[in-house]
């Protein structure tokens, strides 16, 4: 496969939302582009990013490697702007979306970019709340140093689970702290006073079936 190439811009004025299933950062009309690798000749534009976690650090990722789960997984969701006019249209086609997955390992040093997200979570405790992220976010800082990845054709892991995703999962995890994951788990799934914490929001891996998995050791 050709090398995966990023043209990621630092993003300011990003909005973070509590979806009731977790947090997501919207980057509409972002100038951040992804191409190459398994993406053929098309250009994919960053639409949003979010992440998945578990109630303990023994679980939380939506992919496992030889059966091993990681403490969480960041997803950078892109859509094919070469072929389709909107995200919604792209989500109806097998080559519509490209989602970059980055595993979280728990370690001692907190991830500064994730800290910019964590510092806003107290303002979006309840479902439906949103706030602006004051800092500038550079999505490339979420990526591990080693850019080897696995890729396969799969689906959204959230309803409607359209089979429209070219998954690109990095082999090397990034490090976050237990405290950062604890903050994720303090988000509430409800909009009202009732507090039902989003302690886990990952979908367990599904059978690979006859899907072909390819890898690139960048
Ligand atoms: N793991 S995943 O990458 O499959 C995945 C999610 F897991 C997830 F939670 C979300 S969401 O937007 O936070 C909640 C559902 O809309 C999306 N959002 C996608 C799905 C629908 C939609 C519509 C507009 C923009 C992004 C998305 C998602 F692509
Ligand atoms: Zn996801």
CA of 21 to the centre of ligand 1 (A): 10
Confidence (pLDDT) at 11 = 82
Tokens standing for 36?
């190459």
Kindly provide the ipTM of the predicted complex, given to two decimals.
0.92
Confidence (pLDDT) at 193 = 80
Residue nearest to atom 8 of ligand 1 (CA): 158
CA of 158 to the centre of ligand 1 (A): 6
CA of 128 to the centre of ligand 1 (A): 15
> Residue ranges of the alpha helices (H) in the chain?
87-90, 112-118, 178-184
- Terminal C-alpha separation, the chain: 10
pTM across the whole model: 0.96
Confidence (pLDDT) at 159 = 92
- Atom index in ligand 1 nearest the CA of residue 156 equals 4
CB 168 within 8 A of CB 98: yes
Residue nearest to atom 10 of ligand 1 (CA): 158
One digit per residue, the tens of pLDDT, for the chain of length 218 reads 788 998 888 888 899 999 999 999 999 888 899 999 999 999 999 999 999 999 999 999 999 999 999 999 999 999 999 999 999 999 999 999 999 999 999 999 988 999 999 999 999 999 999 999 988 999 889 999 999 999 999 999 999 999 999 999 999 999 999 999 999 999 999 998 888 999 999 999 999 999 999 999 97
- Atom index in ligand 1 nearest the CA of residue 26 equals 25
Give the number of whichever ligand sits closest to the CA of residue 19: 1
The residues annotated with a catalytic role in the active site are 21
Question: What kind and span of H or E run contains 196?
Answer: none
Confidence (pLDDT) at 84 = 98
Kindly provide the b/e burial profile for residues 153-162, where b requires at least 16 CB atoms within 10 angstroms of the residue's own CB: bbbbbbeeeb
Q: Which residues approach ligand 1 with their CB closer than 6 A?
A: 19, 21, 24, 47-48, 50, 75, 77, 87, 99, 156-158
Choosing from 34, 44, 48, 167 the residue with most ligand 1 atoms within 8 A of its CB, the one to mutate for a pocket test is: 48
CA of 156 to the centre of ligand 1 (A): 7
Give the C-alpha separation, 129 to 187, whole Å. Answer: 11
């Amino acid at each position: 496969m050709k090398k995966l190439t990023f043209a990621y811009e630092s993003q300011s004025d990003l909005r973070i939302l509590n979806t009731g299933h977790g947090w997501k950062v919207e980057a509409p009309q972002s100038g951040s582009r992804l191409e190459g690798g398994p993406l053929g000749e098309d250009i994919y534009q960053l639409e949003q990013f979010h992440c998945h976690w578990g109630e303990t650090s023994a679980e939380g990722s939506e992919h496992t490697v030889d059966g091993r789960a990681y403490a969480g997984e960041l997803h950078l969701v892109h859509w094919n702007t070469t072929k389709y006019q909107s995200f919604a249209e792209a989500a109806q086609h097998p080559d519509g979306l490209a989602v970059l997955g980055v595993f979280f390992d728990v370690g001692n040093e907190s991830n500064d970019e994730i800290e910019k997200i964590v510092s806003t979570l107290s303002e979006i405790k309840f479902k439906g709340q949103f706030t602006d992220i004051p800092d500038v976010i550079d999505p490339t800082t979420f990526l591990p140093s080693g850019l080897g990845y696995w890729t396969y054709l799969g689906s959204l892991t959230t309803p409607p689970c359209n089979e429209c995703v070219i998954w690109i999962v990095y082999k090397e995890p990034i490090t976050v702290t237990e405290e950062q994951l604890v903050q994720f788990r303090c988000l509430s799934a409800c909009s009202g006073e009732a507090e039902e914490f989003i302690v886990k929001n990952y979908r367990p891996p599904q059978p690979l079936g006859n899907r072909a998995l390819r890898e690139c050791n960048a």
